[in-house]
Amino acid sequence: MRSHLPRLTMIAAALVSTTALAGQVAVQIKGPDGKAASGVRVSVPELMRSSAPSDKDGIVILKNIPAGDVDITAAPSGFRPIQQRVTVAQNGTATLNFQLEPSDALKRAALANSEPATEHLAQKQAYLNSIKAVKGKKPNIVVILFDDLGYGDLSSYGNRLIKTPRIDAAASQGIKLEQFYSASPVCTPSRAALLSGRYPNRAHAANHVYFPTGHPMATIRRSMGWANALPKDEILLPEILSRAGYATGAFGKWHLGDQAGHRPNDFGFQDYFGILYSNDMKPETLWRNDKVDTPADQTDQATLTERITDEAIAFLRKNAEKPFFAYVPYTAPHLPHHPNPKHKGVSEGGTYGDVIEDLDTNVGRLLQTLRDLKVDDNTIIVITSDNGGDWGGSAGNLRGRKGETFEGGQRVPAFIIWPGVTKPGTVSQEMGMNFDFYATILKELNIPLPSDRIIDGADIRPLLAGGKTPHDFLYYTTVWTGSFAGVRDGHYKFRDIVADPSPLGAGGEAYNAIPSLYSLDKDNESHDVSAKHPEELERLKKQLDAFRKAYQHNPRGWIDPPSVVSR
């Protein structure tokens, strides 16, 4: 058996003699999704005690490593062990890149876990079969959804560097909602809520985001029993509107599953063009309905916003004589940022500003098309974001950002232009959430809500007309586990201890070690007021606990037997 004593003796002598004979090793660790992986311990086996975990940026610096050849290892649970040999120079820094890959055991677990069961497919079909074409004049609907646009990224929300005159002009024609929320601080869950009218937890969509089939992160999701596509028994708004006589089209980012049977055409969209997941995921293939339109190596992200707009405009022109629902979920300003050459270097907000000002131009084109077609006076226009801004974006005066249950993670810009309902130039401080559009549209069309399931959204037409919110409470969900971690009413917000472990490492949020209470009408989460208002903390904590208990008892939110009268 080989003895390591000579090697250890040499290392000990080197350390004692002088630190000049030592250098350091910098390791960048990325998860299977290509993003920084925190909490992954890296070590030098021969030095025994020389180990350290990666920081939030996925970086580990191992100092005082003896000069010469040395092995660097990482063996995080659930992933293949990594070992690389590197040469350390005296007083130098050697660099390594570690990419985590699922272990064989994790892959076997993935094969053993199928997608969550479809439980209410028959009830869904019966409901859709009951919907008849709506008679009379029906409003057109256009939903414009930005990807990771922060609360402070538009000039109408206070940004002084990024100019968005076309979006601002459109907003001035309707109501600006300053207390409006996405149902999650990350992409997939928020989109599931918007289109289903339900908290994303009910649709197996609250655990981080869906990944392309074959992606290592898709394997990890399956191994943990997490869905990687929206269950087929969810009833989405386009399915209902299609049955009601609408032309339905989606143009942009889907992110609710790329598998056959879970794509936009499978959930009621008659026309689709775009990318089935995020623009930072490979491959960057563009789809037209159920076929590949543009191979990944031919996709130009710099002009993708423009191309999405072109497709949406073509849809509007094709369907100008009939009621239409156009869903335009842009891929921008999600990372990576690829400014259109027409806008590159123009914005005072740098590359990020260039991307948003390109969005502004294209939103202007879209809205001008409605005017040119003379259908703007009968079109409901929704402009909002799927969650808070990422790094590079602005949360304005809010705390936190994408991925967090602070306000900056879930409070988003929102404008509604609804002729005959909203008044130009109105600003509302009443709270609402993106799942409210579902119930609001169906109520406007006199279509009953599905009665076999809980619909969390509510009809917000009175709010849009300048009245009060229909909600007593709204709930905040975490990124990885999809836990309900906070609740707010019209004045206060209770934020529970957030422990949201990621399968890639420590993960989660660690900002508050104790439950916190914030006065949202006086302060933007800078000061915990629980000591001053313990009764409010206790009241909201009980409300959150009760909601959690009800959810745990009935996670999918089924009503069995279906109620006769819907909410």
Residues acting as catalytic residues = 187, 255
Quick check: helix, strand or coil at residue 103?
coil
Query: Tokens standing for 275?
Result: 């990318």
Q: Is residue 15 a contact partner of residue 29, using CB atoms and an 8 Å limit?
A: no
Residue type, 223: S
Phi–psi pair at 82, nearest 5 degrees? -120, 135
Q: Measuring CA to CA, how many Å separate 385 from each of 211, 331, 407, 415, 470?
A: 20, 11, 14, 10, 21
Distance CA 460, CA 179 (A): 13
Other CB atoms within a 10 A radius of the CB of residue 71 amount to: 13
SS3 62: strand
Contacts of 52 (CB under 8 A, 6+ apart): 41, 42, 60, 61, 62
Residue 201 Cα distances to 198, 249, 560, angstroms = 8, 26, 19
Q: Do residues 228 and 210 lie in contact, with contact meaning Cβ atoms separated by under 8 Å?
A: yes
Burial (CB < 10 A; 0-12, 13-18, 19+), residue 422, is buried
Helix/strand/coil for 84? strand
